[in-house]
Structure 1
Amino acid sequence: MATNTIIEEKKESAFESSLKSNDTEEQIDIWFYRPIGYQIALFCAKVGITPNPVTIVSIFFGVAAGILFYYQELWINVIGMLLLVFANSLDSADGQLARLTNNKSRLGRILDGAAGDFWFISIHIAICLRSQNEGWSALIWVPGVVAGLSHVVQSAMADYYRNVHLFFIKGTSGSELDNSRDLQREYDQLSWSKNFGMKLVARTYLNYTNLQESFSPHLQKLLALVRERFPNGLPQELVRDFRAQNKPLMKYTNILQFNTRVLFLFLWLFIDQAWIYFMFDIFILNPILIYMCVSQEKVSRHFYQQLTHPSENKYANI
């Protein structure tokens, strides 16, 4: 009996080690996607499959799902929904596999971020074409494109703020937080003639990171300050206080990620009103994005002021 308990505890510990952090995980992920992803990750580790091929396979399933949303037959849409769920399970598995096998890479992070973009490009194109078949004019592409651009910014900032939170509570080893200055140096070292593919990928990722930083100027000042002042790790008091103030904002990053938008997408497909998804993206998720960014900047200003005016606060001796 005791042996079985120990085995179960080890399995639970191994599963938890495959997660980023309970602070940033959604309940749907913990209950559904992460357990499935964990089993896929264990299988891949056993047969020697690395994370990047898993990510690439997820792109094919996600794009296929989007194509199936073009059709008005509900049963075809349901197949697309199942494919999209499986694609996200694979997307969960690649990160869990990377953490379990300690096989993390910059390329893997770029692929992981690009996977969702490919899925939703396919979905947006399919909905636009579907709407035209239903009698909409070509003007449907206007909200389709606006919603697509909104999705890019929403996902980019939600991912960024999650990694900022992980950086503060786990340090550089527990997050995937990059900065444009380091990425620019790496980009400049690559040659278009000798490293065309990698330089193109590096340019894309640099633009992506510049976008994230442009939306968070006060956060950039705080990050620059803590990296300069605490090169060997943040003080536990600062970690504790930042976590307490920043953790409530994680629910907004979760809303802007996969699960919420897909649940509503499935709803619109079930009632054969797929075009509403664009309105949801533009008029519901964008205000949440704005509130999230404003709130994060407020938190960043607070801690920057605390660290730059030590005589007035408890960090005076840090």
Structure 2
Amino acid sequence: MESLHAKNSKAADKTVFENSLKSNDTEEKIDIYFYRPIGLRIALFCQKVGLTPNAVTIISIFFGVAAGILFYYPSLSINFIGMLSLMFANSLDSADGQLARLTNNKSRFGRILDGFAGDFWFASIHIAICLRSMNEGWSAAIWVLGILAGVSHMVQSAMADYYRNVHLFFIKGTSGSELDNSKDLQAEYDRLTWSNNAWMKFVLKGYLNYTKMQERFSPKLQRLLEVIRADFSNGLPASLIKDFREQNKPLMKYTNIVQFNTRVIFLFLWLIIDYAWIYFFFDLFILNPILIYMCNRQEKVSTHFYNRINEYKA
């Protein structure tokens, strides 16, 4: 029989693992069973040796960009090394957030850096696929596809991340969410001066534009958030939180589809069959319709709860 010590140890490990997650609602199965356990081991090692979450994020950029470079070569063995490199980069990307939550070393700059890390990975991948395709006989027109797919990817990732943070904002409040709004960011940006805070002002400007883009794609959600911030600053009633979670949780699967795992599974498939350029069409004509559906569904949920909250206030 299992000893009491072993049971307690397993329970403690489970607690540490769960504390390293944002929320089971927003986690994907592949992450829960593969990337998050690996990320936790990396996070615990980094904690032991004194590496910060931002340092882990920067290391992930090197592995992600290296993966893109390795995808340039029409050799499956080299591509396979690139696949492993990209998977390790994503494990590091998981680890930086887990390390931040375990050590309570969270910062807005860290979130910004983490978001841009993935953009560096996939910029490298798109450039490599374009160059590889031209070597295989494509004209320079492949760059149009690559750029359009890259812009699509950025919007897909931005909105998926935003909707996840909105979900966490509703079920956990500000302490469990990384949800920002352009009004507060603009005020913070205006307080900084170029003479004393040039770097942070530059970074915040990029993040401000990023947040404004997320808000433009979700006008009805913004209306709902405005009411909540104005009238429920101490939190929503439990009944509304429960109702929101039940209706909004099914949308989380769409945020997962347009994020890392699905796109990378298909990217690896196209590389294996030596048709890497299909990845651009997949991004444009499969993931973009899912993005549109996801945004429309979220707007409908937002309208429903806007009406519910007004009824509750009345």
Shorter chain as normaliser: what TM range?
A: over 0.9
2:146 corresponds in structure 1 to: 144
Query: Alpha-carbon deviation of 1:89?
Result: 0.1
SS state of the match for residue 193, structure 1? helix
Tell me the TM-score normalised to structure 2 length: 0.98
Determine the C-alpha separation between the residues in 1 that align with 2:235 and 2:46.
34
**Match status 1:197 vs 2:196:** no
2:51 counterpart residue number: 49
Q: Deviations over 1:197-248 (max 9, x none)?
A: 1111101000100010000000001011111111112211111000000000
The residue number in structure 2 matching 1:231 is: 233
Q: How far does residue 130 in structure 1 lie from its aligned partner after superposition?
A: 0.4
Q: Distance in 2 between matches of 1:105 and 1:50?
A: 11
**1:93-114 deviation digits (Å, cap 9, x = unpaired):** 0000000001100000000100
Give the 3-state SS of the residue equivalent to 1:66 in structure 2: helix
What's the counterpart of residue 260 of structure 2? 258
Map 1:210-225; keep pairs closer than 5 Å: 210-225=212-227
Q: Please, which runs of 5 or more residues in structure 2 have no aligned partner?
A: none
In structure 1, the partner of 2:25 is 23
> What letter corresponds to residue 234 of structure 1 in structure 2?
L
Equivalences, count: 312
Partner of 1:66: 68
- Structure 1 SS opposite 2:234: coil
Aligned twin of 2:108? 106
What is the Cα deviation at residue 132 of structure 1? 0.3
Question: In the alignment, what sits opposite 1:268?
Answer: 270
Which position in structure 2 is the counterpart of 1:95? Answer: 97
Q: What is the rounded CA distance, in whole Å, between the counterparts of 2:294 and 2:174 in structure 1?
A: 23
| Counterpart in the other structure of 2:5 | 3
Structure 1 residue runs without a partner (length 5+): none
Aligned equivalent of 1:302:
304
Q: Distance in 1 between matches of 2:239 and 2:52?
A: 38
What secondary structure is seen at the aligned counterpart in 1 of 2:84?
helix
Q: Deviations over 1:12-54 (max 9, x none)?
A: 0110010011100000000100000000001111111110000
Could you tell me how far apart the structure 2 residues matched to 1:102 and 1:48 are?
Answer: 14
Identical-residue share of aligned pairs (%): 74
Q: Distance in 1 between matches of 2:120 and 2:144?
A: 19
How much does 1:10 deviate? Answer: 1.1
- Output one character per residue of 1:43-74: Cα deviation in whole Å (capped at 9) or x when no partner: 11111111000000000110010011111011
Following the alignment from structure 1 to structure 2, what is the Cα–Cα distance between the partners of residues 118 and 132? Answer: 21
Separation of aligned partners in 1, 2:71 and 2:233? 49
- Which residue matches 2:179? 177
Q: Which runs of 4+ in 1 moved over 3 A?
A: none
Distance 2:255 2:87 in 1: 19
Q: CA RMSD in A?
A: 0.8
SS in structure 2 at match of 1:20: coil
Q: Distance in 2 between matches of 1:41 and 1:316?
A: 44
What corresponds to 2:39 in structure 1? 37
Amino acid at match of 2:217: F
Partners of 1:234 and 1:303 in 2: how far apart? Answer: 11
Please report how far the alpha carbon of residue 3 of structure 1 lies from its aligned counterpart in structure 2 after TM superposition.
Answer: 2.2
Amino acid at match of 2:62: F
Taking the aligned partners of 1:2 and 1:129, their CA distance within structure 2 comes to 59
Q: For 2:194, what is the secondary structure of its paired residue?
A: coil
Looking at structure 1, the residues matched to 142 and 110 of structure 2 have their Cα atoms a distance apart, in angstroms, of: 34
* CA–CA separation in structure 1 for the residues paired with 2:202 and 2:28: 33
Partner Cα separation in structure 2 for residue 280 and residue 122 of structure 1:
18
TM-score for the superposition, normalised by structure 1 = 0.97
Query: 1:237-288: per-residue Cα shift (whole Å, max 9, x none)?
Result: 1110000000000000000000000000000000000000000000000000
C-alpha displacement at 1:316, in angstroms?
Answer: 5.1
1:116 corresponds to which of 115, 118, 121? 118
- Number of the residue aligned with 2:242: 240
Residue 13 in 1 paired to residue 10 in 2? no
Provide the residue aligned with 2:85 in structure 1. Answer: 83
Do structure 1's residue 153 and structure 2's residue 155 form an aligned pair?
A: yes
